Amino acid sequence: MILWQLFSAFFKIGLFTIGGGYAMLALIQQEIVSRGWMTPQEFVDVVGIAEVTPGPIAINSATFVGFRTGGIPGALSASLAVVLPSLICVMIVSRMWEKYKSAHVVQSMFAGIRPVVAGLVAAAAVLIATPTLKYAEGIASQLLTLVIAAAAFYAVGVKKFDPIKVIAGAALVGILIFR
Amino acid sequence: MQKQSTSLWKLFSVFFRIGAFTFGGGLAMLPLIEREVVDVRGWVGKDEILDIVALSQSVPGAIAVNSSIFIGLRLRGVIGAIAAMLGTITPSIFIILIIAHFFTQFQSNPILMRAFSGIKGAVIGLVAAAALRAGKNAVVNRYGLVVAACAFFLSVFGVLPIVWIIILGGLSGIVYFRAKGGVA
């Protein structure tokens, strides 16, 4: 039963992906390629698509693989399966957090975690910038990417513009200027 | 706490918009979530959003999905969590279904590819803006600066998985604030 196989495979992927983002790609590849649902080359294409489409890469690949193997029911089965562990785990963690968040030890813990989040977000900017600049073709494209990045930083970080409008503007600039 | 006052449709539609404009995965959506959820609607406080991001990174799943579940759960309980979660994932499901259908045309469309080149640049700036904001809210003393710098380098050089960096930060907070005699 393909729908159930998709569901159980993506439930497992959802459950064992901690830290978000690209950490899970190896696991997805292992599950999907070993079952013969996709070739390694097709998987690379899916990652490429996931990078340029909105939404978490886990959902993107679940929908894509589910659709390829089981049509629209397959896409829905895989996509819901990959988020179900999140729903369950967040409900448990959230209940514990609401209960204990006023305890001194939990407050100290989060006073330590908040600066960590700031550092991790700064690191994410570097980790996203590196491959983006590396794969931009030619010095002109790299410079242009940096200029757009700086403009977006100024618009959202300093001038408090709506990020949605900034993304739409960057897409327009890309269409007009990139070669 | 404004329980019940937020409609399920509002939760769904706000997270639908966040899901539709989250490029580059994970933390790129932070400025969007902060604007929609903290600034515009006041559903969550400035400090709390950092706690939610940290918790979202510490449980299985995508950060955008996890934080939407946290916020939905807090505003409207389990049904709110489901509404927010479905809002976040619906745009990706639709878009991928369309792309999976027209796969080859999509890959060779130069206009789309140029648009994405522009978006990729903006995503770098958006994440940097999120870092600036998180830094302003969280790094208030020398201890915070040291912890943030450690987390930055451990993550950039891939020394430890993110979950472990968060756990270490939590432990450092417990040790530091015990020695100091309280958080405030």
Which pLDDT score is estimated for A23?
A: 55
Mean per-residue pLDDT of chain B: 87
Are A119 and B149 an interchain contact pair (Cβ–Cβ within 8 Å)? yes
Q: Report in angstroms the alpha-carbon separations of B77 from A24, A99, B34, B73.
A: 28, 15, 21, 4
Residues A112 and A93 reside in one and the same domain: no
Residues of chain A with pLDDT under 50: none
Q: What is the ipTM of this complex?
A: 0.79
Nearest to B92 among A60, A123, A172 (CB): A60
pLDDT at A41: 74
Torsion angles phi and psi, residue A67, rounded to 5: -65, -45
Last residue of one domain, picked from the residues A65, A100, A135: A100
Final residue in a domain of this structure, among A75, A100, A125: A100
Burial class (CB in 10 A: 0-12, 13-18, 19+), B149: middle
For residues B90-99, give the mean pLDDT.
91
How many A/B residue pairs have CB atoms within 8 Å?
394
Confidence of residue B66 (pLDDT cuts 50, 70, 90): very high
> Could you say which of A100, A125, A156 is where a domain stops?
A100
Total domain count for chain A?
Answer: 2
Q: Would you say residue B55 has pLDDT above 80?
A: yes
Q: Locate the chain B residue with the closest alpha carbon to A13.
A: B61
**CB atoms A55 and B89 under 8 Å:** yes
pLDDT digits (tens, 9 = 90+) for B125-176: 988 988 898 898 889 899 999 999 999 999 889 888 777 888 899 999 999 9
Answer whether residue B105 shows pLDDT above 90: no
pLDDT category at B2 given cuts 50, 70, 90 is very low
The pLDDT of residue B104 is 66
Quote the pLDDT of residue A12: 87
Mean pLDDT of B59-65: 85
Do A66 and A38 sit in the same domain of this protein? yes
Question: Residue A54: which domain range?
Answer: 2-100
Task: Take residue B33 and report the two structure tokens written for it.
Answer: 């979530």
